[in-house]
Amino acid sequence: MSKQFDVLVIGGGPGGYVAAIRAAQLGFSAACCESNPYADPKGEPRLGGTCLNVGCIPSKALLHTSHLFEEAGHSFEAQGIKVGKATIDVPVMKGRKDTIVTQLTAGIKGLFKKNKVTLLNGHGSFVGKEGDLYKVKVGADEVLAKQVIIATGSKPRHLPNVPVDNKIVMDNEGALNQESVPKKLAIIGAGVIGLEMGSVWRRVGSEVTILEAMPDFLAFADQDIAKEALKLFTKQGLNIQTGVKIGDIKTTKKGVSIAYETKDGKAEKLDADRLIVSIGRIPNTDGLNGEAIGLKLTDRGMVEVDGHCKTNLPGVWAVGDVVRGPMLAHKAMEEGVMVAELMAGQAGHCNFDTIPGVIYTAPEIAWVGKSEQQLKAEGVAYKVGKIPFMANGRALGMGEPSGFVKMLACAQTDRILGVHIIGANASELISEAVVAMEFGGASEDLARICHAHPTLSEAVHEAALACDKRPLNAPAFFFGRIRLYSKPDSPRCPIKN
């Protein structure tokens, strides 16, 4: 006899496991099915998806270790700390990363047990319907559910005719599991993964070259941020080339050879020990068998949903990387909670205008809302407050004065339209801006809030003051970037109420 649940979640990544837990908290009988894509030695499903197993979490562990290594070699002496020459033990670094991943995956299983979520071992695939219930094959068994949440995530996009073996040619998974430091490392794609992995291996000794097809570096980011980032990363030693056209890629006994054309049309060849391919991700609907129930996909292979993550079928929902929007773990989590609450008749909420983005380089990059170029393109009247961390006492004390905070506010209403940060702990600082924007806050609201001194958060406070041309600790001539863009016929703030 088939097992039956109120809610079945297909996929145990950030969106899936959170949706299952929230559904159980709301009184549903909830199950989550997950297979073993990450080679658990016991053959058990490893929860947490790409993020926890081969993405967000392991990459942050390696970024932290490599940052400490670089600090020991370059910053300690300037602060009066004298140590011998630091060396890196890659297997130990990798082992620490693996321990963290194992601890957190086990933690999710514990949360399932505490919240009475049933974990099913196996790949989820639609079979059809049985009355009002959806029939899903999970491994060798069949499960019935009143409602189904698809949370199957995404997988790395690979180059055509370039097989990934995760030894010489790698995607994100192989990049996180290298057993030694390559002398020369090539990376195709200067996005989040490319920059983070390039930073890790450069810090521990690799000569890193990043090839990017787009003509502009970090084209999706505010261009003030992108220009500052390119300057700082180049100074650190990353060789970043934009506007390139990738040609033939050949693996050899010694590594890999990449033929490419520069933005100026010059033919070049790059020889490297290893290659990381980080050219984006694609939705993972492999084996889902959505056609068995008439599930509609977009022309890009994503599950088609509305603003509340409803598919074209009653009782079938989809969240996370498999649907529209940025492929971010925290966005998937918010969607998972929203769907569970909507199922229970509550007012589930996910504000897609206030989802922050982060790149965990050093310095970190974080943003929320509109960029300056977006506001210009939309013809919106806005004002800018920009404060350098060089004027922040805490940043100087930490030895991390690079970067700035940039705030964009509506010229007519003062409502905050976007905040962009490059600097130490930007990933933590951006949350203040997210909260302010979620509540429709103005730059004056942040300007009137007392911030502890000395803290990095004071830079956010000063940027808010700068929107009103009255910074207290960084006069306008210091950075020369306080500007007011005003057009009498411009549309009002483009943020939904």
Residues with a known catalytic role: 453
Q: Are 467 and 447 in contact (CB under 8 A)?
A: yes
Rounded Cα distance between 276 and 185, Å, is 8
> Dihedral of CA 162/164/167/173: which sign?
positive
Q: Are 341 and 159 in contact (CB under 8 A)?
A: no
The 10 Å Cβ neighbour count of residue 77 is 11
Find, among 352, 396, 340, the residue nearest to 27 by Cα.
340
Helices marked H in 359-414 = 372-378, 393-398
What is the identity of the amino acid at 462?
A: E
Helices marked H in 415-488 = 426-438, 443-447, 458-467, 476-479
Q: Are 194 and 59 in contact (CB under 8 A)?
A: no
Query: 451 CB contacts (<8 Å, ≥6 apart)?
Result: 457, 458, 460, 461
Query: 238 CB contacts (<8 Å, ≥6 apart)?
Result: 195, 198, 199, 202, 208, 210
